């Protein structure tokens, strides 16, 4: 294992009932300071892979390492340095935003001053501080997404895993999140996120992985993939080549 | 330990009505919370009154000594059945699974906290029964003061073993089902099998012991509690601890509860993620070919949607359809075992003329079929999907009609089948059989419409877990408990009236009343905002 790699997926496969593989021999590496975009069609296996990475989905084939720890054998060590934001965050609806953030801060054993400073910082950045006293059930989808993002950021993870993070966010919040991702990357945090918005991935990521029918068809740097084209063109080309190859 | 307390505290806070009331600005929501609290308090009062009445009955016939065992058995049975019905939604397949599992909690911690949450939430009900029975027991037995202390302490521990047993069986079912492609279906079938076995346990034990010549009702009760405590040791330990201050048995009950807790969650924790992954994952065949589609009316389309909602959730299915299943079984058993045998089992051999029981047939079946109306929980079960119906060009009236139609589709066939089986077994004359069938349908209509009134009245879409709506929702509780108690009362009333007047006339009057009540409830359900 590379000493600088924060996330390493080795030959990970996942089948559901019926023997069809949702993820098939997936291997990729995300190093410290990388922002890696994970792209593919609907149902390609992005969420299945992401959920296995963050320890939500059980798997038997392959290995996943976070910061050198095995997700299978040392899940607690992995989770302590990882933050995950799902595509449709199911938060505790009957807690207020601040109660939920305090719950997460308690879980990660953050001190009172520390949590207050970070919640205020990110709350102000996402312009949600004033709403934190209201019940989450009264929030819009975007506001819930903001609370989920803040909860992921307050414990300063070494690996940030996001599943379609920009869905539902207003333009300002999307911009803020991108800025934060850059800042974290500069501090050595690895970011691994799935998206369908190729323009965002192109501007944000230095690495990209493309998944199709559960198989990785490309994994490397953005330059290696695009070679002077736009990401959209490169993605469609890679997709087309894969169709020809499989037929 | 710290992680346990953080998670448990948050789980309790997130489902606390007080927390919602404190932080919401929605006046309607606040009023609903107050209404729910009043309703639940009234139901608790009913439960307490019912428990005291049992003690008074025992006291009057000089059997106060059987009260502690009876208390332990009642609490244990309720704890087992209710936990078993909830375990699928609480322990497994819950909404916030992804969020919790991505946090640094051990799987064992999450599973154990889910159990402790169930325990704390249901404890007030068990303590109400226990305190009421203690009061009744104390009135007749005048025990020393330390009996009160032991009784109260052990009441906190009493539900633990049956709840653990139910959770463990739920775990085994989930574990076995997770190996199949149709996880949900297999889980539902296994759950139904266990429910039926639980309800038949008493009769199975009696059959095994082989004593069907019970001389009198009194000795029957005494023998039953004695045998039951002999089979279910913790009930006997509880009784020994409170009546004879038997410290070793008190320690045995406490120690066993803690040891089982540790053992169960050690085992469950090891397979927790594997089971949840299997339950929450759905295989995709990706082989659908467009074929000819069918058109149906709006009301039928909503009814079909309700059918898919029911069959798509093991918790919903096992809770809502258990009454129908038991009614069908009752019908089959009545046909197979025969009329005399059934009467002997129900009356414990007491000398009763079987003919007087006939007018109660539809109400006996209704006790089961009307146990849970899908209309009581389906408005709340829309949850976050409520926007779909709200944004469609459908009137609220039509939505409710669709939901009511589905409940009729679900209940009427079972009602007709069970009533017909019992009428055939009881050799009821043809005219009365037809009238009983009509009365059965009228009762289904009442249950459907009354359920809809409760469901719309206490509609709550912001739930965390569907079990909150299906098992603990104010709508379901307010519908179910009075309905079951009224059904039991009506069985007795019909038997009594049957001795005073002609059965045909009595049934016609009952049809009229049930029809009228159904009509009134339907009108209310349609008009409610």
Q: Are residues B319 and B347 in the same domain?
A: yes
- Say if residues B163 and B119 touch (Cβ distance below 8 Å): yes
Same domain, B418 and B470: yes
Q: Looking at the structure, tell me whether residues B273 and B332 fall in a common domain.
A: no
| Chain B residues with beta carbon closer than 8 angstroms to that of A49 | none
CB-CB under 8 Å, A93 with B10 = no
Contact B102 A56 (CB under 8 A): yes
Chain B closest-CA separation from residue A125 CA (Å): 23
Average pLDDT score over chain A: 88
pLDDT for B214 equals 41
Q: A91 to chain B nearest CA, in Å?
A: 7
Q: What is the overall mean pLDDT for chain B?
A: 84
Residues B58 and B204 in one domain: yes
In a domain, residue B20? The reply is no
Q: List pLDDT tens digits, range B87-112.
A: 777 887 777 888 888 899 988 899 99
The pLDDT tens digits for B278-330 are 777 666 555 667 677 677 788 888 898 889 888 888 888 888 888 999 999 88
Residue B405's pLDDT is what?
A: 96
Residues of B in contact with A58 (CB under 8 A): 273-274, 276-278
Residues of A in contact with B182 (CB under 8 A): 17
Instruction: Give percent of chain A above pLDDT 70.
Output: 95
Contacting residues of B for A16, CB less than 8 Å apart: 281-284
Q: Residue A228: left (phi > 0), alpha (psi -120 to 50), or beta?
A: left
- Nearest-neighbour CA in chain B from A64: distance (Å): 15
pLDDT for res B348? 59
Q: Measure the CA–CA gap between B223 and B212, rounded to whole angstroms.
A: 12
pLDDT tens per residue across span B141-179 = 888 888 899 999 999 999 999 999 999 998 888 888 877
B261 to chain A nearest CA, in Å? 23
For residues B140 and B229, the model is more confident at B140
| pLDDT per position as a tens digit, A214-244 | 899 888 898 888 877 778 888 887 777 766 6
Closest Cβ–Cβ partner in B16, B98, B278 for A86: B98
Q: Which chain A positions have a beta carbon within 8 Å of B282's beta carbon?
A: 16
Query: For a pLDDT cut of 90, what percent of chain A falls above it?
Result: 46
Please, which residues bridge with residue A30 across strands? A7
| A88 pLDDT higher than 70 | yes
Q: How many domains does chain B have?
A: 2
Dist CA A128 CA A106 (whole Å):
21
Cβ–Cβ below 8 Å for A99 and B13: yes
Say how far apart CA B308 and CA B323 lie, in whole Å: 19
**Residue in the block written with tokens 């909404």:** B95
Evaluate whether A186 touches A155 at the Cβ level (below 8 Å): no
Is B96 in contact with A137 (Cβ distance < 8 A)?
A: no
The single residue listed with the structure tokens 């055939």 is: B424
Query: Given this model, what pLDDT does residue B285 score?
Result: 57
Residue B78 resides in a domain: yes
Taking an 8 Å cut-off on Cβ atoms, the answer to whether B14 and A90 are in contact is no
- Residue A209: pLDDT band (50, 70, 90) is very high
One domain, residues B175 and B302:
no
Residue B221 inside a domain? The answer is: yes
At residue B96, the pLDDT reads: 82
- pLDDT of A30 reads 95
DSSP lists the bridge partners of residue A194 as A38, A163
Q: Which residues of A touch B (CB under 8 A)?
A: 16-18, 20, 22, 43, 51, 54-59, 75-76, 79-80, 82, 84, 86, 89-96, 99, 103-104, 106-108, 133-135, 137-138
Most B CBs within 10 A among A18, A22, A41, A58, hence the mutation to make, goes to A58
- Residue that wins the pLDDT comparison between B287 and B470: B470
DSSP class of residue A94 equals: T
Does B310 lie in the same domain as B221?
A: no
Tens-place pLDDT, residues A98-132: 988 988 888 888 899 999 999 999 999 999 999 89
Kindly report the nearest CA distance between residue B264 and chain A, in angstroms.
Answer: 21
Q: How far is A22 from chain B (nearest CA, A)?
A: 9
Mean pLDDT of A68-76: 91
Q: Are residues B354 and B485 in the same domain?
A: yes
Whether B10 and A76 lie within 8 Å, measured CB to CB:
no
What is the C-alpha to C-alpha distance for residues B128 and B268, in angstroms, rounded to an integer?
Answer: 30
To the nearest whole angstrom, how far is the Cα of B85 from the nearest Cα of chain A?
Answer: 23
B6 within some domain = no
Nearest to A84 among B14, B102, B464 (CB): B102
Among B14, B98, B101, whose Cβ lies nearest the Cβ of A94? B14
**Does residue B97 contact residue A49 with C-beta atoms inside 8 Å?**
no
Res B384: pLDDT: 79
B342 within domain boundaries: yes
Boundary of a domain, candidates B249, B280, B311 = B280
Rounded to the nearest angstrom, the minimum Cα separation between B4 and chain A is 10
Average pLDDT over every residue of A68-87: 90
Contacts of B490 (CB under 8 A, 6+ apart): B360, B363, B366
- Distance to chain A for B193, nearest Cα, Å: 24
- Do B93 and B214 lie in one domain? The reply is yes
Final residue in a domain of this structure, among B280, B309, B339:
B280
What is the pLDDT, as a whole number, of residue A154?
92
Mutate to test the interface with B, among A22, A53, A57, A60 (most CBs of B within 10 A): A57
Residue A34: pLDDT band (50, 70, 90) is: very high
**Is the pLDDT score of B429 beyond 60?**
yes
For residues B221 and B315, state if they share a domain: no
Q: Which residues of B touch A (CB under 8 A)?
A: 3, 6-7, 10, 13-16, 19-20, 23-26, 95-99, 101-107, 180-183, 273-274, 276-278, 281-286, 462-464
Q: Do B98 and A56 touch (CB under 8 A)?
A: yes
For residue B76, give every residue at least 6 positions away whose Cβ sits within 8 Å of its Cβ, in sequence order, or none.
B158, B159, B161, B162, B232, B234, B235
The answer to whether A238 touches A210, Cβ cutoff 8 Å, is yes
pLDDT, tens digit, for every residue of B503-515? 899 999 999 999 9
In tens, the pLDDT along B194-239 reads 777 776 665 655 555 444 444 444 555 556 666 666 667 888 889 8
Per-residue pLDDT, B472: 76
Considering CB atoms only, which of A86, A90, A107 is closest to B104?
A: A107
Encode pLDDT of B54-63 as tens digits: 888 888 877 8
Number of helical (H) and strand (E) elements in chain B, helices listed first: 24, 0
Among the partner residues A89, A95, A134, nearest to B13 by beta-carbon distance: A95
* Contact flag B6-A99 (C-beta cutoff 8 Å): no
Whether B46 is in a domain gets the answer yes
* Strand pairing report for A215-221 and A207-212: antiparallel
A23 interaction partners in chain B (CB closer than 8 Å): none
User: Domain check: are B74 and B156 in the same one?
Assistant: yes
Q: Which residues contact B164 (CB under 8 A, 6 or more apart)?
A: B115, B257, B260, B261, B264
pLDDT at A235: 82
Q: Say if residue B39's pLDDT is above 60.
A: yes
Q: Print the domain residue range for B424.
A: 298-527
Is residue B304 domain-shared with residue B428, that is, in the same domain?
Answer: yes
Q: Is the pLDDT of residue A17 over 70?
A: no
Whether B98 and A107 lie within 8 Å, measured CB to CB: no
Q: What is the pLDDT of residues A1-16, one digit of tens each?
A: 556 899 999 999 988 7
| B97/A57 CB distance under 8 A | no
Q: What is the mean pLDDT of residues B18-35?
A: 81
Picking from B5, B104, B285, B380 by the largest number of A CB atoms within 10 A of its own CB, the best residue to mutate is B104
Instruction: Name chain B contacts of A79, Cβ cutoff 8 Å.
Output: 102-105
**For B95, which of A55, A75, A90 is closest by C-beta distance?**
A90
Q: What is the mean pLDDT of residues B434-440?
A: 96
Domain identity same for B246 and B310: no
Give the DSSP H or E segment for B254.
helix B247-280
Q: Is there a domain that residue B88 lies in?
A: yes
Report the alpha-carbon distance of residue A6 to residue A32 in Å, rounded.
Answer: 5
pLDDT value at residue B282: 63
User: Does B13 map to a domain?
Assistant: no
Q: Which of B235, B251, B280 is the last residue of a domain?
A: B280
Cβ neighbours of residue B273 closer than 8 Å, sequence gap 6 or more: A55, A56, A57, A58, B101, B107
> Is A99 in contact with B105 (Cβ distance < 8 A)?
no
């Amino acid at each position: 294992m590379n000493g600088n790699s924060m996330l390493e997926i080795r030959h990970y496969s996942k089948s559901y009932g019926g023997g069809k593989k949702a993820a098939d021999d997936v291997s990729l590496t995300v190093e410290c300071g990388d922002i890696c975009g994970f792209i593919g069609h609907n149902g390609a296996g992005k969420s299945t892979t992401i959920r296995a990475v963050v320890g939500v989905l059980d798997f038997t084939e392959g290995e996943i390492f976070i910061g050198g720890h095995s997700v299978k054998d040392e899940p607690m060590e992995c989770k302590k340095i990882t933050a995950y934001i799902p595509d449709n965050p199911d938060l505790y609806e009957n807690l207020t935003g601040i109660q939920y953030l305090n719950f997460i801060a308690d879980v990660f054993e953050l001190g009172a001053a520390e949590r207050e400073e970070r919640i205020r910082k990110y709350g102000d950045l996402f312009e949600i501080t004033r709403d934190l006293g209201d019940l989450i059930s009264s929030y819009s989808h975007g506001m819930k997404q903001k609370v989920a993002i803040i909860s992921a950021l307050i414990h300063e993870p070494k690996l940030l895993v996001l599943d379609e993070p920009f869905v539902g966010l207003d333009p300002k919040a999307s911009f803020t999140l991108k800025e934060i991702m850059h800042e974290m990357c500069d501090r050595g945090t690895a970011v691994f996120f799935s998206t369908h918005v190729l323009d965002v991935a192109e501007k944000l990521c230095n690495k990209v992985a493309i998944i199709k029918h559960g198989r990785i068809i490309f994994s490397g740097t953005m330059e290696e993939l695009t070679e002077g084209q736009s990401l959209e063109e490169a993605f469609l080309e890679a997709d087309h080549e894969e169709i020809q190859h499989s037929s | 330990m710290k992680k346990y307390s953080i998670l448990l505290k948050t789980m309790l806070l997130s489902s606390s009505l007080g927390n919602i009331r404190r932080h919401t600005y929605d006046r309607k929501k606040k009023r609903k919370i107050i209404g729910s609290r009043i309703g639940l308090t009234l139901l608790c009062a009913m439960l307490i009154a019912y428990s005291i009445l049992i003690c008074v009955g025992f006291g009057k016939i000089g059997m106060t000594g059987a009260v502690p065992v009876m208390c332990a058995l009642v609490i244990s049975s309720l704890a087992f059945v209710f936990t078993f019905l909830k375990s699928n939604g609480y322990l497994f397949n819950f909404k916030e699974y992804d969020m919790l599992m991505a946090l640094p909690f051990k799987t064992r911690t999450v599973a154990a906290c889910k159990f402790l949450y169930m325990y704390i939430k249901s404890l007030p009900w068990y303590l109400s029964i226990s305190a009421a029975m203690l009061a009744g027991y104390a009135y007749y037995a005048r025990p020393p003061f330390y009996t009160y202390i032991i009784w109260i302490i052990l009441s906190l521990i009493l539900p633990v073993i049956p709840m653990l047993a139910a959770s463990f069986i739920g775990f085994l079912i989930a574990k076995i089902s997770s190996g199949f492609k149709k996880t949900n279906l297999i889980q539902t079938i296994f759950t139904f099998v266990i429910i039926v076995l639980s309800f038949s346990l008493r009769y199975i034990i009696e059959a095994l012991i082989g004593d069907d010549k019970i001389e009198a009702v009194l000795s029957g009760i005494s023998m039953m509690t004695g045998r039951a405590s002999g089979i279910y040791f913790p009930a006997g330990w509880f009784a020994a601890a409170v009546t004879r201050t038997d410290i070793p048995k008190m320690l045995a009950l406490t120690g066993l509860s803690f040891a089982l807790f540790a053992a169960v969650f050690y085992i469950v924790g090891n397979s927790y993620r594997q089971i949840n992954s299997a339950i929450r994952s759905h295989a995709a065949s990706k082989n659908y070919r467009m074929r000819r589609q069918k058109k149906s009316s709006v009301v039928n389309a909503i009814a079909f949607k309700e059918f898919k909602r029911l069959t798509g959730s093991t918790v919903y299915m096992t809770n809502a359809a258990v009454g129908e299943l038991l009614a069908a079984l009752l019908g089959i058993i009545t046909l197979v075992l025969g009329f005399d045998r059934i009467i002997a089992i129900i009356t414990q051999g007491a000398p009763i003329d079987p003919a007087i029981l006939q007018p109660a047939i539809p109400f006996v079946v209704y006790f089961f079929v009307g146990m849970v109306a899908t209309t009581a929980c389906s408005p709340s079960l829309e949850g976050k999907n409520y926007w779909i119906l709200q944004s469609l060009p459908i009137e609220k009236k039509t939505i409710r009609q669709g939901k009511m139609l589905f409940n009729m589709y679900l209940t009427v066939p079972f009602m007709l089948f069970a009533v017909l089986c019992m009428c055939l077994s009881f050799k009821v004359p043809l005219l009365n059989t037809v009238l009983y069938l009509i009365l059965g349908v009228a009762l289904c209509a009442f249950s459907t419409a009354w359920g809809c009134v409760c469901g719309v009245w206490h509609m709550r879409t912001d739930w965390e877990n569907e079990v909150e709506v299906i098992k603990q929702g104010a709508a379901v509780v307010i519908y179910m408990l009075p309905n079951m108690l009224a059904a039991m009362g009506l069985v007795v009333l019909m038997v009594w009236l049957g001795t005073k007047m002609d059965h045909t006339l009595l049934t016609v009057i009952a049809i009229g009343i049930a029809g009228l009540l159904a009509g009134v409830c339907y009108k209310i359900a349609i008009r409610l905002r």
